Amino acid sequence: MPGRILIAATTLPILAFFAAFAVGADDKKPTSVLDFKVKDIDGAEVALSKYQGKVLLIVNTASQCGLTPQYKGLEELYKKYKDQGLEVLAFPANEFGKQEPGTNAEIKEFCTSKYNVTFPVFSKIVVKGQGIHPLYSFLTGEATDPSFAGPIGWNFAKFLVNRKGEVIARFDPKTTPESADVVKGVEKALAEK
């Protein structure tokens, strides 16, 4: 009998530890784009919570794509609406036709010298398939919002995120930043306080 009590006394704290860990793990499940951390183009960690209260246009980008000139439209959109609370967040990715082969330093140089980009550009990540970054897993996940779910189809797919960090629209890669749909979506999101 004493042996059984000793075993019970030593296993209870261990079980309590694992139970607490399991509960804590569920508590950490992202519910918003603002719950993620990413690395900027220079490798510094950035908590997306710093964009709390902003409208975000999240775009997977590439330097050697037929759609690369969209950098110009993204910069114009950013300049026009940044004072109202818009942030364009660019995530270079090499999944589509290997059209972003460069290093982060080369990408940064390209964006600033060729397109005078002033919006935030982040470190190159995986946006589709094996090794997908958790942010893009969230953006494209069925559980986040079935109407915007599904894998990224190509470079320059755009996700519009409201001031609360909720995905509210997804735009096809060929839908340009200056298109009526994108502009209308951005303006509507900015109008909501």
Query: What is the block-wise mean pLDDT of the chain (193 residues), using blocks of 10 residues?
Result: 49 42 55 96 97 98 98 98 98 97 97 97 97 97 92 97 97 98 98 91
CA-nearest of 125, 146, 128, 148 to 137 is: 128
* Domain boundaries, given as residue ranges, for the chain: 1-30, 33-191
Which one is catalytic: 32, 40, 65, 126?
A: 65
Q: Check if the beta carbon of residue 71 is closer than 8 Å to that of residue 115.
A: yes
pLDDT reported for residue 193: 82
pLDDT reported for residue 117: 98
CA-nearest of 130, 114, 111, 131 to 59 is: 111
Q: Check if the beta carbon of residue 175 is closer than 8 Å to that of residue 70.
A: no
CATH superfamily for 33-191 is Glutaredoxin (3.40.30.10)
Query: Which tokens sit at 63?
Result: 């330097």
In this prediction the pTM is 0.85
pLDDT reported for residue 2: 53
111 is catalytic: no
